[in-house]
Amino acid sequence: MEKLRRVLSGQDDEEQGLTAQVLDASSLSFNTRLKWFAICFASGVVFSILGIGLLWLPGGIKLFAVFYTLGNIAALVSTCFLMGPVKQLKKMFETTRLLATIVMLLCFILTLCAALWWHKKGLALLFCILQFLSMTWYSLSYIPYARDAVIKCCSSLPS
């Protein structure tokens, strides 16, 4: 009876599952969130570097595309541990970064399609370059006035 009273009053102190804790980032301690962020981000960097290393092997463009994309996805997912996945998704699809998010996600998908199903090496490499550019543009959206500064620098180059 006491357990039922605690549950109904919202004071149930039982351990949440890992999935529930991840979905509600506030239930994870700051140190835990920081550790998982570092693990995901570091694995993303390792995957990307491994992909670049595999690029120089014969037929390595397929492995490069897969590992580079997995690295970018892991780096993107790592931020979910800092702010929570729901807040991350809301921020990703805000109007200021909606186009960058859509292009970035499309580049992830198209890179994998070009490398694994279409077997078009040049197209996979092109999508990896577009993936890098879209991830950079997406990341700049979190820094105030960074996009404006990049646009101003690039527009002054031709003149």
Q: Are residues 116 and 80 in the same domain?
A: yes
Neighbours of 76 (CB within 10 A): 21
Q: Which amino acid is at 91?
A: K
Q: Are residues 72 and 2 in the same domain?
A: no
Q: Are residues 64 and 134 in the same domain?
A: yes
SS3 for the chain is CHHHHHHHHCCCCCCCCHHHHHHCHHHCCHHHHHHHHHHHHHHHHHHHHHHHHHCCCCCHHHHHHHHHHHHHHHHHHHHHHHHCHHHHHHHHCCCCCHHHHHHHHHHHHHHHHHHHHCCCHHHHHHHHHHHHHHHHHHHHCCCCCHHHHHHHHHHHCCC
pLDDT tens digits for 48-104? 999 989 988 888 888 999 999 999 999 999 988 888 888 899 999 999 899 999 999
Q: Are residues 87 and 120 in the same domain?
A: yes
Question: 44 is in which domain, residue-wise?
Answer: 1-57
Number of domains within the chain = 2
Last residue of one domain, picked from the residues 41, 57, 73: 57
pLDDT tens digits for 6-50? 544 555 545 555 555 555 556 778 888 899 999 999 999 999 999
Q: In this predicted structure, what is the pLDDT of residue 16? A: 54
Q: Are residues 40 and 107 in the same domain?
A: no
pLDDT tens digits for 99-136? 999 999 999 999 999 999 998 989 999 999 999 999 99
Q: In this predicted structure, what is the pLDDT of residue 30? A: 84
